[in-house]
Amino acid sequence: MKVRLLFNLILTLLILNVLVASTEIPKLHQRVTDFTNTLTYQEWKMLEKILKEFEDSTSVQIAVLIIRSLERESIEEFAYKVFSENKIGQAGKNNGVLLVIARDDRKMKIEVGYGLEGVLTDAIASRIIRNEIIPHFREDNYFAGLVNGIDAIMRATAGEYRADNGNGTTTIFPYFLFFLILLSVIGIPIMAGRRRRIIGGGQSVYYSGWSFGGWHGYLGGGFRSSGWSGGGGFSGGGGATGSW
Amino acid sequence: MASGARLILILGGLLLIFVFFSIVWGISIYNEIVGLDEGVRAAWSQVENQYQRRYDLIPNLVETVKGYAKQEREVLIGVTEARASVGQLKVTQDILRDPKAFAQFQQAQDGLGAALSRLLVIVEKYPELKSNENFRDLQAQLEGTENRIAVARMQYNEKVQLYNTRIRRFPASIIASITGFNEVQYFKAAQGSEQAPRIQF
């Protein structure tokens, strides 16, 4: 019992530490960084996988950052700083995209690197936010919003996104659904075992646990060693914002 | 006699060496200043590009708003007039070193920014306009452009700071004044322009 109390205390301190850190400009070590524990482990892992595969095949870097709340800055300022601090996108190509979500402020921004401004224009970025992401965010389904939004961004960077017909999302979604099922079949038993063994506590504690674990790379998985970082890209402040 | 000639020779030699190294030093400082000046110019052309982008967006935006909100004549005319006064500006690299012309440039651009944010405020009264996809695209482009302007201005100011610091600091300041590099103007933070017009939808 004592051990458990101590463990919870340490855990709380670590979480607090992460919260404090999130008010500064975070250094991204993963493609998907969630300070809010909004995503489950499976969801996070899936997004990482999708983005990794996309980066491997196209060299376009897409990163996601979810924070609780902005301090004094506007979302535009914050997104620009995070983008330039982490240099998302390949050097020379500047083909990076950053999604910043300030969950409790209900604001988001898609920050687009110089090299993608031609295909992922402000208008397209705005349409993606309006039509693909926000409808899901309004229903508190952040994962679905992100999957749809990332999918649309990936198609836009390939010059394929047509926001006006809006049917692209339905054709691609089963693919993600398939992954979700696959991951839950394989992932949940493993994670459940891990949870019992390590914490043996409630769901929320567990989720907090993986979040800082994911961030600092304590918790295993194939992503810890990936050591992802931006490739040296620049942004000129292009993209779009939205709120819900 | 022989020793006097030798002294002169030594002094002359030292002088020559001194002059030689001064010239080498001067050239390297000069090149450095040229590099910084290039940085300022590049950053300035980004600023100009983004302002031009906004300038080009406006006719389309005004037309679209007119279609739904004709009665908002005052605001629409305000935007058109502010745009016209930006159009009248003669913008060359010279204005960077001309405090008066630079202030004029900034004033006109900030005035246009303010007129545009007024336009986006009145739009709130027209739900039909707000839900028009074409308008939403234009609005997104405008917001994106305002943000790019803010970024370009910030980057410009950073480059100017590097340059100005270099040319004012002794002894590089000697080289700068000989070669005619003088101070460049900063953008001053102004109300209305630093803040991109933000509209909830």
The Cα–Cα gap between B65 and B77 comes to: 12
Nearest residue, CB atoms, A238 vs list B138, B139, B144? B144
What residues contact B25, with CB distance under 8 A and at least 6 apart?
Answer: none
Q: What is the pLDDT of residue A158?
A: 83
How much is the average pLDDT of A14-35?
73
Q: Is residue B195 part of a domain?
A: no
Q: Is residue B186 part of a domain?
A: no
Q: Is residue A223 part of a domain?
A: no
Asked if A48 and A191 touch (Cβ cutoff 8 Å), the reply is no
Asked if A214 and A16 touch (Cβ cutoff 8 Å), the reply is no
**pLDDT tier, A1 (very low <50, low <70, confident <90, very high otherwise):** low
Q: What is the CATH number of the domain that holds B164?
A: 1.20.1440.20
How much is the average pLDDT of A47-58?
93
Whether residues B152 and A237 touch (CB distance < 8 A) is answered with yes
Asked if A85 and A25 touch (Cβ cutoff 8 Å), the reply is yes
Q: Is residue A237 part of a domain?
A: no
Q: Is residue A149 part of a domain?
A: yes
A85 and B CB contact within 8 Å: no
The predicted-structure confidence for A67-94, as pLDDT tens digits, reads as follows 999 988 899 999 999 999 999 999 888 9
Helix (H, G, I), strand (E, B), or coil: what is residue B200? coil
Q: Looking at beta carbons, which residues of chain B come within 8 Å of A85?
A: none
Domain residue limits at A69: 2-217
Q: Is residue B166 part of a domain?
A: yes
**One-letter amino acid for residue B154 of the chain:** M
Domain tally, chain B: 1
Q: Pick from A242, A17, A8: which is nearest to A124 by CA?
A: A242
Q: Is residue B8 part of a domain?
A: yes
Mutate to test the interface with B, among A76, A94, A117, A124 (most CBs of B within 10 A): A76
**One-letter amino acid for residue B125 of the chain:** K
What residue in A sits closest to B134 (Cα-Cα)? Answer: A123
Q: What is the pLDDT of residue A166?
A: 40
B42 and A CB contact within 8 Å: no
Domain tally, chain A: 1
Asked if A67 and A103 touch (Cβ cutoff 8 Å), the reply is yes
Q: Is residue B62 part of a domain?
A: yes
H/E element, A192: helix A168-198
Q: What is the CATH number of the domain that holds A173?
A: 3.10.310.50
What residues contact B196, with CB distance under 8 A and at least 6 apart?
Answer: A74, A76, B143, B146, B147, B150
The mean predicted confidence, pLDDT, of chain A is 76
Q: Looking at beta carbons, which residues of chain A come within 8 Å of B200?
A: 243
Q: Is residue B194 part of a domain?
A: no
Q: Is residue B192 part of a domain?
A: no
**Contacts from B17-22 at CB under 8 Å and sequence distance 24+?**
none
Other CB atoms within 10 Å distance of the CB of residue B141: 23
Domain residue limits at B139: 2-178
Q: Running DSSP on this structure, what letter comes out for residue A133?
A: I
The predicted-structure confidence for A146-183, as pLDDT tens digits, reads as follows 999 999 999 998 876 765 444 444 444 555 666 666 66
